Amino acid sequence: METRFEISQEAGSLGAIITGIDLRDEVDDVLFEQLHQASLEHLVLCIRGQQELTPDQQIEFARLWGVIEPHPYVDPIEGYPEMIRIYDPNPLTETWHTDFSYAKAPPALSFLLARTVPPYGGDTMFSSSYRVFEDLSEGLKTTLRSLSALHEGTALALSKGLEIDDIRSVHPIVAVHSETGRELLNVNSCYVKNIDGWTVEEGAPLLAYLYSLFERVEYTYRHRWHDGDLLIWDNRCLQHRVVGDTNGQKRDLHRVTVAVET
């Protein structure tokens, strides 16, 4: 079946731009399924030209994909408990990471709408956890399949009233995507503290090597924002980071997150 939009792949490993649709119009079952399949294939979708989308419409669009999961400790936008504001880059967001990997069930998808972007700077980069794992040697793949890692959130979460058990989980280092069944590398330098059952000294060299792979350009897509871009990314199989070169210029994006289970 022909898609109801134009789609342009932007990089070899992940990333595509979609034009020709207005999400203020009804998203019927056919259009949703076409977008869903495009998301599974490209991992990051940018739907251009959504400047007129209201917060309510962004939330309702996200709700088509699953159960909305409010941020556990960042204050929401007033009047919209499902939505938070993303603005100036900071040391946390400038680090390669997977959102909430410390949670017992990290979220599946994020929906980030650009309300105001600077004329330059503040790009967001993505790296494919599929490709990083697939290119490892068979020996290392076998070893990693037997290991798990301890993920832990930041002190900010504790200061907001969360308990340590809320921000600490052990997850397999090799995860399996819940929809595609593909294996992927599930460690990130932002939240992983150590390989479970190893000392910090033992785990550090291996983890440092694995983290470095996400920086390889052949696994990445760099998104330069335009006002009205709505990015959908699959948090289960990629990492992302912001490029902190805005020089203090105004940057305002609105994010809604969807849980794994629909």
pLDDT digits (tens, 9 = 90+) for 162-215: 999 999 999 999 999 999 999 999 999 999 999 999 999 999 999 999 999 999
- Mean pLDDT over residues 43-51, rounded? 98
pLDDT of residue 88: 83
CA distance 51 to 35: 19
pLDDT (0 to 100) of residue 89: 86
Please give the pLDDT value at position 92: 85
pTM for this model (two decimals): 0.95
Q: What is the mean pLDDT of residues 138-165?
A: 94
Averaged confidence pLDDT in the chain: 96
Alpha carbons 82 and 195: distance in angstroms, whole number: 33
H/E stretch holding 157: helix 155-159
Instruction: Band the pLDDT of 156: cuts 50, 70, 90.
Output: confident
pLDDT for 261 equals 59
| Residue extents of the structural domains in the chain | 6-117+223-236+245-258, 128-213
Tell me which CATH code domain 6-117+223-236+245-258 carries.
3.60.130.10
What is the arithmetic mean of pLDDT over 8-31?
Answer: 97
Structure tokens at 156: 């900010």
Which residue do the tokens 């709700």 mark?
A: 63
Q: What is the dihedral of CA 69, 75, 77, 79, to 10 degrees?
A: 80
Sign, Cα dihedral of 53, 54, 56, 59: positive
Residue 260 has pLDDT above 70, yes or no: no
